[in-house]
Chain A
Amino acid sequence: MLLALIPFLLAGCDRPEIRSYRVAKETSSSPVTWAKLPDGWAVTENSRMSVAAFLVGGEGGQTAEITATPLPPLGGRETDIVNMWRQQVGQPALGDDEAAKQLQPVAIGGEEGQLFEISSSPTNSEPTRIVTAMLHRKSASWFFKLSGDPAVVDAQKPAFVEFLKTVRVNDAALAGAAHSMAARAPAPHSAPPPPQNFKWKVPEGWQPAAPGPMQNAKFSVPASGGAAEVSVSIFPSDTGGTLANVNRWRGQIGLGAATESDLASLVTPLTASPGALLVDMANNGRQFIGAIVPRGGQWYFYKLLGEAAAVAPQKEKFVEFVKSEP
């Protein structure tokens, strides 16, 4: 009979306790990890190909972006890589010897990679500086890119180099994400997809374009006075409220942050939906017209951005588009 009661006594001893044990390392599910983000860096949305992205601001509202992007192995094609980036900022291509001179050794997570810097041509209206570090491994080539306003990039370069030392890349985690990455990568010669499942009437002349990250639809707006584009993003929340969004938009045309008291003079209500509003800002020849429209439990963010000469004539069409049922 006493034997029968032993399980009960055992049950009484089965108290939860903290355990510690040693196990073989697991393969991380995240393709890239890091020890600590440098001060001022904030995680932001990944671009089409990147697996991690950060944004850092400068004193005057300028920004620079840091991305980590794995690509199929490209070791031995350094000249092509350097020239690809040079082309991006409007610089002429270099020969093998010249390209090789651009490369400096850099530590990336305990391995030796290469780093090179490129600045846009002085005639470029939007000066850009790019610092790229690359690490070629058997199954992937990793690119860490710091790009944006030259002053911000220069200021952040030491932090970027320190950050690279703590980075850990995990090629194995890419295998699972391979098809997802392939799906994210734009098809090289395919036509841009039309906006899906939307009933709205797109103004004449607006051409559907491939939506960027965090965008649900995008249109290019051809205009004689310059280039402009319209984008629509839909979020399940107001993403921080009017002031936060207006300030983010102000930053995109180089304007400083506004305060809560400035808001009243910056925004105008729209009749599209209760709480809908419009903001129209310009700086240095660029104009930004944005709208925030709460609809059916979601927040629609419309953006018309480009050179002022191209944006201004589109304002009326843009407002009609914003008001139309999506």
Chain B
Amino acid sequence: MARDILIVGLSHRTAPSAVRERLAFPQVDLQPALARLAGLDGVHEAAIVSTCNRVEVVACVAEDARARGLETRISEFLAAERNMAHAEFAAHLYAHSGREGVRHLFRVASSLDSMVVGEPQILGQVKDHYEEAALAGTSGSVLHRVFHRAFAVAKRVRTETGIAGKAVSVASSAVDLARTIFEKFDDKTAMLIGAGTMSELAARHLKTQGVGSVMIATRTFERAVALARELQGVPVPFDRVAEYLKLADVVIGSAGATDYLVTAPLVQEVLRARKQRPMFFIDLAVPRNFDPTINDLDNVYLYDLDDLAVAVAGNVDEREREAVRGEAIVEEEVERFWRWFESLEVVPTIVAIREKVEAIRQRELEKALASLKDQAPRHRELLDALTSSIVNKILHAPIASLKHHDGREGTPDLVVSARRLFDLEPPARSPDDKEPDKESA
């Protein structure tokens, strides 16, 4: 095969959050990084998926690229982009290619590989990162297809299995944990530092569990005010978090920041002011907002995303069955995609075009002969030779062009176009495949 799909990256399964948070790509860096990534030798198309829990390069590559050390070049690329020493994360990297790679992407988009299996945010994050690649012009027809299939698979898994319904989000597991520390919630105060989807969710959970009040501090005060109105909370200026911290029993961090917003000395001071009443810190941010050493302080409990994943794992059993059904859907879809992907090969496409046209010629030839009153054998020979010659002349240019492009940049685009022009749909196209096809665009 001339092309392959390759995924190189690391995730919460292989790397601690300290590594993940340093390797994660801020959105502003994506466009230039994608351009450099696509420039690597052997890379035809490329996208970067970067969330709090994973950093992955998804690429369509030359078939022999792995053999020629592309994996290493990609991990060196990551090191250079993120200013890290290669050795700092190399041990955490994985690489999947072929069906394995497609399966991985489908599982990621379907939230089967998530920290909290079934959590809905990941699909949106994958979509956003695919769009970045489309914007950068580094995605072509293969990535277009594989990502859109991934979105469709995610949709199927969500609607056909109970994963999403039973999903215990990180947010609610954080609230469960708060219950093992605090007996009553009505005299407790929660504080949000930064407002991400997950921390908002956690705040809502706390609210339904009857938490006394919620303070909200975001970098832009307007956002805090708006959210406070929604949650019936109190907005707090971001630069005065330290002063208000002593009022908070549960502190949820999800602010974008390069340094710790809450340090151990600050918490010690706060604890003195609150007469050592316990505090529960939930760090949902990557990079983290709270200094990990505050967990060592008496009466302070700190959980970050990794810890919460472990807490969530307690309920995994009941979701396991649904996840197995999700995996079955993924398998089915991987096979389907793979048939399409293989059909992108030049030779089978040429064969398919020839077969299709030959079938038309034969059909029309029979029709014409049937309508002839005088069916002399030489008529058949003549018509046969004539139609063959026309067909071959017409097909010569497209087939020559396909052969000429075999193995070059942009072949899939050409093959896809050819298949569309000759109406050679990829095998087993699904009826639910409703996304607009832009392969030839």
A and B interact physically: no
